[in-house]
Amino acid sequence: MAQKDEIAGLESTHANTEMDTKEDETLKGTMEEQAQPELKRGFKNRHVNMFAIAGSIGTGLIIGSGEALASGGPGSILIAYIVMGMCVYTVMTAFAEMAIFAPMNKGFSGYATRFVDPALGFATGWNYFFKYSVLLANNLTATGLVIRYWREDINVGVWIAVFGVFVVALNFLPVEKFGETEFVMAIVKIIVLVGLILCCFIISLGGSPSEERIGFRYWNDPGAFAPYLAEGDLGRFVGFWSCIVQSAFMFMGCEVVGITYGEAKNPRKAIPRAVQQTIMRIAVFYIGGVIVLGTTVPYTNDLLLSANSQETSASASPFVVALKLAGIETLPAIVNACFLMFTVSFANSDIYIASRTLYGLARDKQAPAIFAKTNRWGVPVYAVIAASLFCCLAFLNVSTASGKVFGYFVSLSTVLGLINWLNIILTCYCFQQGVKAQGIARAGLPWRGPLQPYAAYVTFFVTVVVILFSGYEAFIGGFKVDKFITSYLGVVLYLFNILVFKA
């Protein structure tokens, strides 16, 4: 439960929820005059809004969705996306209730420390840091997978080094410049994905060079639900569960916009708008995307099935496969080039999120104080350096197949991300109990999430089930040690962090 002295401070925080923009600027000036520099509120509303829309468009959608479609079929992946999409929206609204009521620049760990227990804040922060550090290596690995579309003779380590240096340099820019960079790349990502969804829709209606009208033919032949690792109904259920686990990874990052709240100029206006846009991007990019992919790509296609091999490349992306099957020759290469920019943008934001998380931990004295130091532009330079060191993990690809390493990173980051969802829901529950103890009814909150708090309870249960059975592949067809470790290592690290803090 939240400590009494922290909960007592909620009333004064709540009294400030009507602060206008001028008061926010005064606060900013006061912060800059302090001896210890802090993060600067350099993100404009449009930066935060675009971060919310494009933040979750990751490698899981452009590359990993091929594996999900091949494993479960169009029906399984559609249901899985709807279920996990509802979960991530619930997590977003739960966090937004706290962030709007009591704005702070310490990220998710800061709220866990204040409303639950410092041990949970410690574990949450380090878990989030490790998650995005692993995702950094994952996305640098993805750059190599994308480039293999053109060149397979150049060692992937070369591209990891080149793009690693580039994204590290971007993160030393002032937050205003960083925000503009991500803003531009986010616009490109949105335009490309909307264009691909429309293109697949046109192909299914007979707009391809072959003029063949496909419609929902592939939902009947080969079918809507694919068997995976087994035959019959059991295989179809395993295929569906594979899509659930894969979609959990694909939705990892939807909540990352919460990290930008500490550097938003007017969080009380930016946060509600960003949260509401979450449901839009889920409906358009994910639900809309898998519907059109299911109508243009059969799950039995050889290129799509290569997504389950150790030699995965970006050509296994269902978007690229759809264009190839339609007989469009030039566009797949152009789309692949756009995917390369996607992966670079993802790696760029991974360093940003990991460094700000480490900064928040240092501010709470849960990490070495050096990580709380910022330069005159408000950039936590030492935290950026620490996060950037995880680029080295991606060099595992030099001696191991890129597709296999990509799978390792996917499994580990998925569990770490799901644990973060649980932490946010648990923190929100304690927050709600705290404001209730202070005599503040839900109707008195400045912003309330739809169907809360009941939606959070359902999401908590679903997330726990997904975590427990995320390593199902380790037990099918003989015990696989590597799958088991990467699927559950995150749980061990999380519990270890709590025990270390309590010791």
C-alpha–C-alpha distance, residues 61 and 144, integer Å:
17
Contacts of residue 484, Cβ cutoff 8 Å, sequence gap at least 6: 471, 474
What is the sign of the dihedral through the CA atoms of 339, 181, 106 and 370? positive
C-alpha to C-alpha distance for 466 and 99, rounded to whole angstroms: 27
Domain chopping of the chain, boundaries: 42-502
Tell which residue, 88, 116, 54, has the closest CA to residue 498: 116
- Per-residue model confidence (pLDDT) at position 96: 84
User: Is the Cα torsion angle 371, 374, 379, 381 positive or negative in sign?
Assistant: negative
Per-residue b or e along 129-162, where b marks 16 or more CB atoms closer than 10 Å to that residue's CB = bbbbbbbbbbbbbbbbbbbbbeeeeeebbebbee
pLDDT of residue 20: 41
Distance between CA atoms of residues 262 and 42, nearest Å: 10
279: Cβ contacts below 8 Å, ≥ 6 apart: 89
CB-based burial label for 468 (10 Å; 0-12, 13-18, 19+): exposed
Is residue 217 a contact partner of residue 298, using CB atoms and an 8 Å limit? Answer: no
Share of the chain above pLDDT 90, in %: 19
Question: Whole-angstrom Cα distance, residue 417 to residue 350?
Answer: 13
Beta-ladder partners of 43: 264
Question: What phi and psi values does residue 264 have, to the nearest 5 degrees?
Answer: -85, 140
Chain-centre distance for alpha carbon 147: 23
DSSP string, 49-108: HHHHHHTT--HIIIIIHHHHHHHHHHHHHHHHHHHHHHHHHHHHHHHHHHHHHS--SSHH
Burial level of 30, CB count in 10 A (0-12/13-18/19+)? exposed
DSSP code at position 43: B
Residue 358's pLDDT is 87
Residue 380: phi, psi to the nearest 5?
-75, 85
CB 47, CB 260: distance < 8 Å: yes
CATH of 42-502, one of 1.20.1740.10, 3.20.20.80, 3.40.50.300, 2.60.40.10: 1.20.1740.10
User: Rounded to two decimals, what is the model's pTM?
Assistant: 0.81
Which pLDDT tens digit goes with each residue over 335-359? 888 888 888 888 888 888 888 888 8
pLDDT of residue 370: 92
Below-50 pLDDT ranges, the chain: 1-36, 42, 307-308, 310-314
